[in-house]
């Protein structure tokens, strides 16, 4: 393997770039997980609302 004068520096730059990319990916993943959780909560609220409305309709039909 040939090493030039920037070989070690190049490896450090690559490692730093990889670390930055991994940090950015983790941030994106956390953001998406938070969005998914918010959607799940909203979906749960809608389900509860549907149960409530269904119960109201059933009472009106009696």
pTM value? 0.65
The full length of the chain comes to 62
Q: What is the pLDDT of residues 12-53, one digit of tens each?
A: 999 999 999 999 999 999 999 999 999 999 999 999 999 999
Type and span of the H or E element at 26: helix 7-61
């Amino acid at each position: 393997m040939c090493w030039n004068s920037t070989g070690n520096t190049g490896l450090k730059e690559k490692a730093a770039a990889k670390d930055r990319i991994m940090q950015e990916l983790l941030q994106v993943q956390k953001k998406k997980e938070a969005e998914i959780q918010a959607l799940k909560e909203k979906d749960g609220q809608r389900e509860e609302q549907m149960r409530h409305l269904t119960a109201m309709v059933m009472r009106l039909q009696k």
